[in-house]
Each structure stands twice: as C-alpha cells, then as structure tokens.
Amino acid sequence: MKQAKVNISLSKVYIDKALKQSVLKVLDSGRFILGDESRAFEEEFARFIGTKFAILTGSGTSAIWLTLMSLGIKEGDEIIVPSHTAFPTVEPILNLKARPVFVDIDDTYTIDPAKIEEKITRKTKGIIPVHLYGHPANMAEIARIARKHGLFISEDACQAHGAKFKDRAAGSMGVAGCFSFYPSKNLTVCGDGGIVTTDSSRINKEIRMLRDHGRASKYLHSVSGYNERFNEIQAAIGRCGLKRLDAFNLRRREIAAAYAKGLKGLPVVLSQEKPWAYHVWHMFVIRAEGRDKIREYLLNKGVETGVHYPVPCHLQPPLSGKEKQKGLPLTEKYCSQILSLPMHPMLKDADVRYVCRQLRAYFHDAR
C-alpha cells in the first residue's frame, strides 16, 4: 500500500512575526550568550513557576545533571525514579555513577507512590518524580515519603510546563524542578535548552557556576565546571512563548476533550486527569492492543503518531546486572500498548475529527 502524505503532524512549533522580530533584535544587539534576554527569561520563568530562582541550561538533561551535582550525588548513591520516562531522566544518574532504582507507575503514567517505600535503602538519597505527558505525579504522597525518610525531591517537569498539583506548579514542589525546551515541548526555544527552578540560594549559585566553566567571576574559576550556557536568541524565543503558554495549554485541554469525546466507545484506554491535577497535555496518549498496526494504518491515512516510550529505561542496553531490574509489570505492559496522537495548539478541530474518524474506521475494519 502506498503511504499517504503526512498532513497531520504529531507536534508543531508556533512561529509568528513577533518571534521572528525578537530574533532579529538579538542579532542586531551583537550580544549572544547569557545577556539581558537570558536574565529576563530566567526572571519571568521563575515568576511563572512560583520559585525564587530559575537557571537556564543547555538542555533538560543538563538541568537534571547539574541539579544532581549540586545536591552532591556521587558514586554508589541511589535515586528512586520511574522507568517509564525518556532515557535522559536516567542518564545523569548513570553519568554520576549513581544507581537508578526503578519504581512502577500507576494509571497516570507517573511513579506509583505506593511502590516507593519498598525500594528505599540506606543508600537512597532522593526521588525524581516525572510529570509525564503533562500530568503531575502525586506530589502529596511523594513529599510525605520523602520527609519520612529524609530524601530530597527533584522534579522532572520536562513535559509539564504549566501543569499543577492542586494549586502548586510543577517544578515548584521539590528542592528543584527541571524543564526542557526541546521543539516538541509545551514551551520551546526552537532547539535544545533547559532550566532549573529552585528556592535554594545555594543550588542557584552552584548551578550558575557549573554551567559556566565553574566561574565565580569572569577570570576566577572556583570549581571545574562545564559549558552548559544558554544563548540570547533562544532566550528571546522562550520569552515570546512564555507569554502564550497559558493560552496554548488551554487549547491543548480543548483538543484533549475533543479526542475523549470523539474516541468514546472505542476499544482504547484514554489518559485521565485526576481531580487534584491540572493536565497540560504535552501528549495525548491512548492504549490499545495491536498498537503498531494502528500506527501503520494512521500513517497511511496521513496521520503522524508517536510511541513514548516503547522500551522502558530499566530494559535499555546501558543498564545491566543489578540495575536491570524486573518487577515493573504496568510499565512493561503499557509500553507495549501506548500510542501518542497528534497534539499541539495549532491542531484544528477538523484535524481532531479526522483522526477520530480514522481510528473508528480502523476498528470497524478490524472486526
């Protein structure tokens, strides 16, 4: 069968005249690294999340990595983390020669708090809950467990810009929150980029040094650091996007509601929003048997889909021996069933209806 041209993309970046003008303004300024645009973006993002500080980094991965470094994570330490997440959540733990201890998920696709305590040992230092697909983890229960055992919480909010647990923004409930600005995210800078949010003056100071070659001042390097600096062009783009983020998240919520209505009655499991959550629908994920056949069918109808993620972190090749943990039945089951449908603010109502019609046709033909 000849594949149809993709006309409904999985994700899309919004680019308008104001964004282009902000880029040209930076080009005319002649200032390109950690200048006024970056400082303004940090201040505005911190206000948006509700933290004292925000520190721009080269990527969401480096945001997690520098945060763990600032928290003193070293070889042999254990960090509790879900396996159902992008591998970059886990990479910084491995790169610091610490050990990720994987916990199964619940029906929100986020870490199951009821499974955390059984994984805590004397080597456990902290928990990284991941607010996956734009839905926050159950932070009340996670915080209770962390307090009981003296553990830090560092939130992976890379897919949760604007999401909330009750009235608290994702990225404001732990010692730090880590975000990504990758092009598919709810807030993007049209490339790689990340940010750490925190109320800790010490973490703020340390990450600022670490991202900029360990500088305490221009020519004094207090520690051996790294080059994880941010650039002015992407900061300008981020500032434009931040102004639209609430409205774009509302549009995502409208699209999610339309999908839920259009797919009602089909043999698929829809993502849910818990009563305590404000879901920003970074992705609209369904579960179904025969996921790969559904995906091929939709692609032949011009609909791009994704799988986030087909291989859980605990089964990835870099993990071996005692780190290649078992006993994560929901994670492994869901990874074989999940399918991400097109989701971005520019998606038209007619596009959503088309996707729903094609899914209905697939299941009708499959009878």
pLDDT in tens, 274-294: 999 999 999 999 999 999 999
In the structure, what pLDDT confidence band is assigned to residue 327 with cuts at 50, 70 and 90?
A: confident
Q: 65 pLDDT exceeds 60?
A: yes
Distance, in Å, from the CA atom of 38 to the CA atom of 26, rounded to the nearest integer, reads: 11
Burial label, 262 (beta-carbon count in 10 A; 0-12, 13-18, 19+): middle
State which H helix or E strand residue 44 sits in: helix 36-49
Looking at residue 321, its pLDDT comes to: 62
Q: 169 pLDDT exceeds 80?
A: yes
Average pLDDT over the chain reads: 96
Structural fold of domain 245-365: Aspartate Aminotransferase, domain 1 (3.90.1150)
Distance, in Å, from the CA atom of 47 to the CA atom of 304, rounded to the nearest integer, reads: 35
pLDDT in tens, 146-158: 999 999 999 999 9
Residue appearing with tokens 């975000």? 179
Write the single-letter amino acid at 131: H
Report the b/e string of 96-114 with b at 16+ CB within 10 A: bebbbbbbbbbebbbbbbe
**Cβ 269 vs Cβ 286: under 8 Å:** yes
CATH 3.40.640.10 segments of the chain: 17-239
Average pLDDT of the residues in 45-50: 98
DSSP of 130-151: B-GGGPPP-HHHHHHHHHHHT-
User: pTM of the entire structure?
Assistant: 0.96
Residue appearing with tokens 């062009």? 233
Secondary structure class of 77 (helix, strand, coil): coil
**182 prior amide bond cis, ω within 30:** no
Q: 238 pLDDT exceeds 70?
A: yes
Could you tell me the CA-to-CA distances from 160 to 246, 259, 278 in Å, in that order? 12, 20, 10
Secondary structure class of 223 (helix, strand, coil): coil
**309 prior amide bond cis, ω within 30:** yes
Q: 5 pLDDT exceeds 90?
A: no
Looking at residue 80, its pLDDT comes to: 98
CATH 3.90.1150.10 segments of the chain: 245-365
Residue appearing with tokens 């964004």? 19
Q: 236 pLDDT exceeds 60?
A: yes
Considering the segment(s) 17-239 as one domain, its CATH architecture is 3-Layer(aba) Sandwich (3.40)
Q: What percent of the chain has pLDDT over 70?
A: 96
In the structure, what pLDDT confidence band is assigned to residue 1 with cuts at 50, 70 and 90?
A: very low
